[in-house]
Amino acid sequence: MARDERGVTPQSEDFSSWYNELVTKAQLVERGPAKGTMVIRPYGYRIWELVQAELDRRIKDTGHENAYFPLFIPESYLRREAEHVEGFSPELAVVTHAGGKELEEPLVVRPTSETVIGEMMAKWISSYRDLPLLLNQWANVVRWELRPRLFLRTTEFLWQEGHTAHADEADAMRETMQMLDVYTEVARDIAAIPVVPGEKTPGERFAGAVKTFSIEGMMRDGKALQAGTSHYLGTNFARAFGIEFSNDAGQRELAHTTSWGMSTRMIGGVIMTHGDDKGLVLPPKLAPYQVVIVPIARGDQGEAVLDAVKTLAARLKAAGIRVHVDDRPQVSPGFKFNDWELRGVPLRLEIGPRDLAAGTVLMAKRLGDEGKIAINLDDAPTTLAAALEDFQQFLLQRAIDFRESRTVTLNSWAEFTEVVATGWARTLHCGQPECEDDIKAETAATPRCLPAEAPAESGSCVRCGAPSSYGQRVLFGRAY
Among 186, 380, 461, 474, binds Zn ion (CB under 5 A): 461
Q: Is 145 helix (H, G, I), strand (E, B) or coil?
A: coil
Span near Zn ion by CB under 5 A; candidates 22-30, 112-120, 441-449, 461-469:
461-469
Nearer to Zn ion, 218 or 435 (CB): 435
Residue 420: count of CB within 10 angstroms of its CB: 26
Span near Zn ion by CB under 5 A; candidates 128-136, 240-248, 355-363, 460-468:
460-468
Nearer to Zn ion, 309 or 430 (CB): 430
Nearer to Zn ion, 63 or 465 (CB): 465
Nearer to Zn ion, 200 or 406 (CB): 200
CB of 201 to Zn ion, least distance (A): 12
462 CB-side CA count, 13 A = 27
Rg of the Cα trace of the chain?
25
Span near Zn ion by CB under 5 A; candidates 32-40, 195-203, 395-403, 453-461:
453-461
CB of 434 to Zn ion, least distance (A): 8
Span near Zn ion by CB under 5 A; candidates 25-33, 36-44, 301-309, 458-466:
458-466
Nearer to Zn ion, 304 or 444 (CB): 444
- 419-448 residues near Zn ion, rule: CB under 5 A: 430, 435
CB of 459 to Zn ion, least distance (A): 12
Task: Tell me, residue by residue from 91 to 130, as one string, x for binding to Zn ion by CB under 5 A and - for no binding.
Answer: ----------------------------------------
CB of 414 to Zn ion, least distance (A): 16
CB of 442 to Zn ion, least distance (A): 12
**Cα 315 from Cα 323, distance rounded (Å):** 10
Task: For residue 140, give the nearest of 20, 52, 15 by alpha carbon.
Answer: 52
Omega prior to 132 cis, within 30 of 0: yes
Q: What angle do CA 228, 230, 235 make, to 5 degrees?
A: 155
Nearer to Zn ion, 154 or 201 (CB): 201
205 binds Zn ion (CB under 5 A): no
Q: What angle do CA 361, 391, 20 make, to 5 degrees?
A: 105
385 binds Zn ion (CB under 5 A): no
Task: For residue 477, give the nearest of 435, 441, 443, 452 by alpha carbon.
Answer: 443
Nearer to Zn ion, 341 or 436 (CB): 436
Q: Which residues contact 438 (CB under 8 A, 6 or more apart)?
A: 463, 464
The burial class, CB within 10 Å (0-12 / 13-18 / 19+), for 441 is exposed
Task: Tell me, residue by residue from 386 to 425, as one string, x for binding to Zn ion by CB under 5 A and - for no binding.
Answer: ----------------------------------------
- Parallel/antiparallel/unpaired status of strands 38-40 and 29-31: antiparallel
Answer for the pair 234, 120: CB distance below 8 angstroms, yes or no. no
Nearer to Zn ion, 29 or 435 (CB): 435
Nearer to Zn ion, 336 or 473 (CB): 473
Nearer to Zn ion, 50 or 435 (CB): 435
CB of 410 to Zn ion, least distance (A): 15
Dump the DSSP string for 251-275: -EEE-EEEEEEEETHHHHHHHHHH-
CB of 474 to Zn ion, least distance (A): 10
463 binds Zn ion (CB under 5 A): yes
Number of residues lying near Zn ion (CB under 5 A): 5
Nearer to Zn ion, 368 or 467 (CB): 467
171 CB-side CA count, 13 A = 14
CB of 324 to Zn ion, least distance (A): 54
What is the CA 210 to chain-centroid distance, rounded? 23
Answer for the pair 329, 360: CB distance below 8 angstroms, yes or no. no
Span near Zn ion by CB under 5 A; candidates 18-26, 220-228, 260-268, 455-463:
455-463
CB of 168 to Zn ion, least distance (A): 35
**Cα 291 from Cα 281, distance rounded (Å):** 13
CB of 465 to Zn ion, least distance (A): 7
474 binds Zn ion (CB under 5 A): no
CB of 468 to Zn ion, least distance (A): 8
Task: For residue 180, give the nearest of 68, 87, 262 by alpha carbon.
Answer: 262
H helices present in 165-297, as ranges: 169-185, 236-241, 265-274
Nearer to Zn ion, 243 or 425 (CB): 425
CB of 196 to Zn ion, least distance (A): 22
464 binds Zn ion (CB under 5 A): yes
Q: In 111-269, which ranges are E strands? A: 133-142, 156-166, 196-199, 211-218, 224-232, 244-246, 252-254, 256-263
- 295-354 residues near Zn ion, rule: CB under 5 A: none
**Cα 347 from Cα 424, distance rounded (Å):** 32
Residue 4: count of CB within 10 angstroms of its CB: 7
Binding site for Zn ion (CB under 5 A): 430, 435, 461, 463-464
